[in-house]
Structure 1
Amino acid sequence: MENKVKDKILILSATFGDGHKQVANAIGEAIEMTLPNAEPVILDVMKWIHPHLYPISNYVYKQSIKKFPQLYSFFYQKTRVKSTFSVKLNALLSMGMKALLDMIEKTKPAVVVSTYPFAAGVMSNLKEQGYVDIPSVTIITDYTDHSYWIHPYTDQYVVGSKQVRDRLVGHGIPGDKITFTGIPIRQKFHQIHHRGKLAQKYGLSDKKFTLLIMGGGDGFFGKGLSTFHALENLQESIQVIVVCGRNHKLQKQLREVEHFFKHKFLTLGYWENVHELMAISDLMISKPGGVTITEAMAMDLPICLYRPLPGQEEDNARYLVESGLAILAKSDENLINKIQVILEDRRPLDYMKQRSKKFQSKTSTIDAVVAIVQTINRCKNELYPLLGLQESI
């Protein structure tokens, strides 16, 4: 029996922040689960287009937002709405059409899905110049809009909130080209987990207040260990889980001194099973990245946003706080005060949990895949043979 060649779905992402990559992985996982005749192909577009420049540009990006946040904010705000300046800068950052065209010709995808704004820009340029005629879908990975997500030859946008949908309509994008699904996340964040068994697995108590600290991977918790020392000002001892990501320096520093703190610490590096950590935690402290926040909401985990960076993180924080989905702390002292209030009165946690239930979607990733397939069908003006979608979902 001859095996049918599967249709390729090319997903363009980048590791300038893990959120774009996580959404790409979530979409790839959902495609494998629901579309038996399709195969996801995930590509780090910046690494592919600029293999030699990529490590340098990634380092410069991370250093600039840490050490020169106001400069980053200036460029973010300057380019937020389409202008002559934003168009010129976007053209510079979206260079690399030849490399992407080579990948498209090699893969022959039925659709190209972008979870990174400049990938969407390169794809739009290829279509505009007539090099390809392939449906193009953009998944916006934040709870805010920006001109760099918006391109004239994008066929469909998938967005995380009604507010973003309304803003895109305000920018002149037809409503039928925008699908509100919620930000896609991996299925494991929608599963039910047993807190007691997981707490035992990690050597923690399921009865004690547990604080999960995310975002240490890029060193966004101030200088040295000031935030962790500030936790000593809490009136009672708690459990603290710290995910340092790839920040080996922070992990080493914290492990050397954690036994001096009155709180029980669990210090981890890059951790694949973040959903398990969320399941045993009472409150998460994190920077307001769209994907991490969405994962926490799916787990009914209350959120304290800590010192958001200028740009999309400030926009995300504003949306989440105004929606009652998170609280915001702007300094170590402010952070400790908010945690102390919660330790004395758990009602703010209950309120955030109730709000998250109203805002989260258990089907956001599947809905995004449906939007992708519908875009293929619309653009081809015929039933595209990704059969099994309706039966599988």
Structure 2
Amino acid sequence: MTRKTADKPHILFLFSDTGGGHRSASRAIIEALEIYHPGKVTTEMLDFFVEYAPPPFDLAVTTYAPMAQVPDLWELGYKLSNGKWRSKLVQDILWPYIRKSTERLVQEHPCDLFLSVHPIINTPILRALGDDHPPYMTVITDMVSTHVFWYNNKATLIMTPTEVAKLRGISIGIDPDRMEIVGQPIADKFRRPTGSKTELREKLGWPQDKTVVLIVGGGDGMGPVEETVRAVDEAGMDLVLAVIAGRNEALKNSLENADLETQTFIYGFVDNMPDLMNAADILLSKAGPGTISEAFIAGLPIILYSKMPGQENGNVDYVLNENAGVWAPTAEKVLETLRHWTENPDILKEMAATSKRLAMPDASYDIAQRIIDAVYPD
């Protein structure tokens, strides 16, 4: 048992910056705890790869982006390890090598509840803890194509973003009573629009009378963003583009120096994504679960043009099957979709309504409530 003796229950968030979604999910849940349960708990975020993983796993964060540029290799590794017995074999082989560092993590970070937002750490931590341990909760941040590593029957509660993710757990033997569908944890500001579409466009300096396409490549500006922008521009469509380059300064500089005929607003890393989404008409994005969930809350039709093979394949299927958007992996398909939607506003309106219906804006609040219920059982 590794409980922390203190006036307030202490929550340890286990995450890693292998992709932007794990950190943002942790922050969203912590924010919900602070807003809706102020002063009830203390929290700590721990990047276990950086702080505790032995070589070469301690390089996972720095090698993630380069690996993401080799999608076939990434998908191969994902598929090879993603099976009930294959994943157990991988865990059993690695355990003797990572055991000491995992046990040290547990000893050096006493807490009253573990909250994991990463698939890889769950089984190692639960092994290190033994049978007598504080509540251990997992919040799955992959929308549909969930890796087996997410699931462990020793977890107190596994919270899933979709019914498909819960059914995946049941299919590999997870007790249904240990799982609950809550949605994707999203920052509280997405629940609270700061104005109407007209007001937001005025604040952003966007025209009121044109269709605005918001192009997002994720926090690192990954995906063929520039190629897509140039293709839309060359097509001469009567649209306005708003491009989020994220932390990708090279992309931002290249677009700012491009000779574009289409009215284009170019942003780096932003903290007003809810305003941008609520002011836009269409989202063009890679298939990240966080961005898709945010788009649902804003009621945006979605064009998905890029995905991380493996865990994001199911996200594409989910959006398509629910009729909230399309898969357009080429510039030609993007242009075809934009033409079809702008020429058929009823279709665009229907997809916007579908997207809104799929939204689960209270996910972070619900997760925070489960945490409070666990550490204050009476």
Q: State TM-score, norm by structure 2.
A: 0.89
**Deviation per residue, 1:281-326 (Å, 9 max, x gap):** 1111111111111011111122111132311111111122111222
1:341 is matched by which residue type in structure 2? H
**Deviation per residue, 1:41-67 (Å, 9 max, x gap):** 12222222249867843342222221x
- 1:23 and 2:25 are equivalent in the alignment: yes
Cα distance in 2, alignment partners of residues 139 and 94 from structure 1:
26
Q: Name the structure 2 match of 1:139.
A: 139
Cα distance in 1, alignment partners of residues 45 and 154 from structure 2:
21
User: Does the 8 Å CA contact 2:221/2:247 hold for their aligned counterparts?
Assistant: no
Mapping for residues 203-352 of structure 1, pairs under 5 Å: 203-215=205-217, 217-218=219-220, 220-222=222-224, 225-257=226-258, 260-352=259-351
Q: Percent identity?
A: 25
Q: State TM-score, norm by structure 1.
A: 0.86
User: Does the 8 Å CA contact 1:221/1:227 hold for their aligned counterparts?
Assistant: no
Mapping for residues 80-99 of structure 1, pairs under 5 Å: 80-84=82-86, 87-88=89-90, 92=94, 96=98, 98-99=100-101
User: Does the 8 Å CA contact 2:186/2:361 hold for their aligned counterparts?
Assistant: no
| Equivalent pairs, count | 370
Q: Name the structure 2 match of 1:387.
A: none
User: Does the 8 Å CA contact 2:9/2:375 hold for their aligned counterparts?
Assistant: no
1:360 is matched by which residue type in structure 2? A
Per-residue deviation, 1:34: 2.4
1:238 is matched by which residue type in structure 2? L
Per-residue deviation, 1:15: 1.2
Cα distance in 1, alignment partners of residues 241 and 367 from structure 2:
35
- 1:64 and 2:67 are equivalent in the alignment: yes
User: Does the 8 Å CA contact 2:226/2:255 hold for their aligned counterparts?
Assistant: yes
Q: Name the structure 2 match of 1:391.
A: none
Cα distance in 2, alignment partners of residues 135 and 203 from structure 1:
48
Could you say what secondary structure the match of 1:10 adopts? Answer: strand
Cα distance in 1, alignment partners of residues 254 and 55 from structure 2:
32
**Deviation per residue, 1:236-281 (Å, 9 max, x gap):** 3322111111111111111111xx2121111111112211111111
User: Does the 8 Å CA contact 1:284/1:303 hold for their aligned counterparts?
Assistant: yes
Cα distance in 1, alignment partners of residues 192 and 310 from structure 2:
32
Per-residue deviation, 1:153: 2.3
Instruction: From 117, 121, 124, give the equivalent of 1:122.
Output: 124
Q: Name the structure 2 match of 1:151.
A: 152
Cα distance in 1, alignment partners of residues 49 and 92 from structure 2:
14
Cα distance in 2, alignment partners of residues 117 and 183 from structure 1:
15
Could you say what secondary structure the match of 2:243 adopts? Answer: strand
Could you say what secondary structure the match of 1:16 adopts? Answer: coil
Q: Name the structure 1 match of 2:41.
A: 38
Per-residue deviation, 1:96: 4.8
Could you say what secondary structure the match of 1:83 adopts? Answer: helix
Structure 2 unaligned segments of length 5 or more: list them.
Answer: 1-5
Q: Name the structure 2 match of 1:188.
A: 189
Cα distance in 1, alignment partners of residues 48 and 314 from structure 2:
25
Quickly say closer, same or farther: Cα 1:279–1:84, change in 2 above 3 A. closer
Structure 1 unaligned segments of length 5 or more: list them.
Answer: 378-382, 385-393
Per-residue deviation, 1:193: 3.1
